[in-house]
């Protein structure tokens, strides 16, 4: 196929600049998603670097010639940084500087000092292959759908460009030096360059999908979870509980409810302020999350009241858990502006063997037991069966 390599590289440049525009627009409107700004800057640097390299002339000033591989290399490194930031990891900003510096040094040393264009193209291709392979490996993570699909698409696209760059380097190293120039047709099959450009477009689309699916996931999280404590909100808890209780009706499994209330919570708000009260609730929710199993459900049911649905657990088992929570929370110290707050809680427990599998009935029974625990002096638990 008779395709001009320089034209294909210009196509790559345009794809990168288009991707930079998309990422920049997204980053302005979704600043809570990490990585978008690095991807926008990375695409921009790659686009500028590739475009400038196709127009470069030996008569240009040395500082411009040196800056072209540096800018392009920084762009490659910023793509990697963006992936790490998107996953919530710390960005090492020396990575794009190192990649850019390495590409600049080997281009100047091999191209201008040794006048060896063959090694310039080969070493730069190997460097691009390495950084894109690192990006692909970084995208191999455990994720739920639809994020997993976007991760896999991006990883496959990065992998293809890494493979294409590696093949380009090997092809150049096997050819006679006199046949090699920066944009020679023989450096690599032009078809592979076109496929590489399409892979670059695929990378941009996959990164946009990652951001979109993350935003959708965050919106779903906000709709189903309490923003203060991270526990389920009341509506989501009731929806999930009804589903599990319906299954328990068919299987005969025991289900238990624990209602928990922080003792004298109003006094904390009055003495230390509502922010201190919020911290008390956050610490309690964090404690509960570390104790319950993955198949159990925790919700902030209202105010300072929490509710736990325990699957496959009878009243006695739930009472043991409630007592453990009570003791741990009584020993917990919440540091707040120089003060050490110590709180207690009361809990009521009920199970499906005595109440049935109707959610409203279970919650009402646990609530009645909680009321008795408070009347008994607080900082204790009460069982619904004890009142029968």
Catalytic residues: 304
Residue 33 dihedral angles phi and psi, to the nearest 5°: -95, 115
Q: At what angle do helices 5-29 and 190-224 cross, to 10 degrees?
A: 10
Angstrom distances, CA of residue 327 to CA of 10, 129, 320, 321, 373: 68, 56, 11, 10, 15
Size (the chain), residues: 388
CB 309 within 8 A of CB 352: no
Rounded Cα distance between 371 and 23, Å, is 54
Q: In the beta sheet, which residues pair with residue 345?
A: 262
Helical H segments across the chain, by residue range: 5-29, 36-55, 62-86, 94-108, 117-138, 147-174, 190-224, 234-251, 265-272, 274-291, 315-331, 352-355, 359-375
Angle formed by the axes of helices 274-291 and 265-272, nearest 10°: 140
């Amino acid at each position: 196929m008779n395709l001009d390599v320089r034209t294909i590289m210009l196509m790559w440049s345009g794809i990168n600049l288009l991707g930079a525009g998309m990422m920049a627009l997204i980053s302005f409107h979704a600043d809570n998603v990490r990585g978008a700004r690095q991807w926008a800057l990375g695409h921009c640097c790659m686009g500028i670097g590739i475009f400038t390299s196709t127009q470069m002339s030996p008569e240009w000033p040395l500082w411009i010639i040196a800056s072209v591989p540096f800018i392009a290399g920084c762009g490659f490194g910023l793509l990697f940084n963006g992936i790490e930031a998107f996953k919530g990891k710390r960005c090492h900003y020396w990575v794009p500087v190192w990649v850019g510096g390495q590409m600049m040094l080997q281009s100047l040393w091999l191209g201008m000092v040794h006048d060896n264009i063959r090694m310039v193209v080969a070493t730069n291709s190997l460097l691009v292959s390495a950084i894109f392979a690192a990006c692909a490996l970084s995208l191999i993570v455990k994720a739920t759908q639809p994020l997993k699909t976007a991760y896999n698409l991006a990883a496959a696209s990065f992998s293809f460009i890494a493979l294409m760059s590696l093949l380009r380097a090997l092809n150049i190293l096997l050819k006679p030096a006199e046949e090699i120039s920066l944009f020679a047709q023989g450096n690599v099959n032009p078809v592979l360059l076109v496929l590489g450009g399409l892979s670059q477009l695929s990378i941009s689309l996959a990164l946009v999908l990652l951001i979109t699916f993350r935003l959708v996931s965050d919106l779903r999280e906000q709709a189903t979870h309490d923003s203060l404590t991270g526990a389920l909100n009341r509506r989501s808890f009731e929806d999930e509980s009804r589903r599990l209780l319906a299954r328990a009706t068919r299987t005969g499994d025991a289900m238990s409810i624990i209602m928990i209330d922080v003792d004298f919570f109003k006094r904390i708000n009055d003495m230390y302020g509502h922010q201190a009260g919020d911290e008390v609730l956050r610490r309690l929710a964090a404690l509960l999350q570390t104790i319950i199993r993955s198949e159990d459900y925790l919700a902030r049911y209202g105010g300072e009241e929490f509710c736990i649905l325990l699957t496959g657990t009878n009243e006695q088992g739930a009472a043991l858990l409630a007592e453990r929570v009570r003791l741990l929370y009584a020993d917990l110290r919440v540091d707040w502006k120089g003060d050490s707050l110590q709180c207690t809680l009361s809990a009521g427990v009920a199970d499906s063997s005595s109440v049935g599998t109707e959610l409203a009935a279970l919650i009402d029974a646990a609530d009645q037991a909680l009321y008795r625990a408070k009347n008994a002096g607080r900082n204790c638990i009460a069982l619904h069966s004890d009142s029968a």
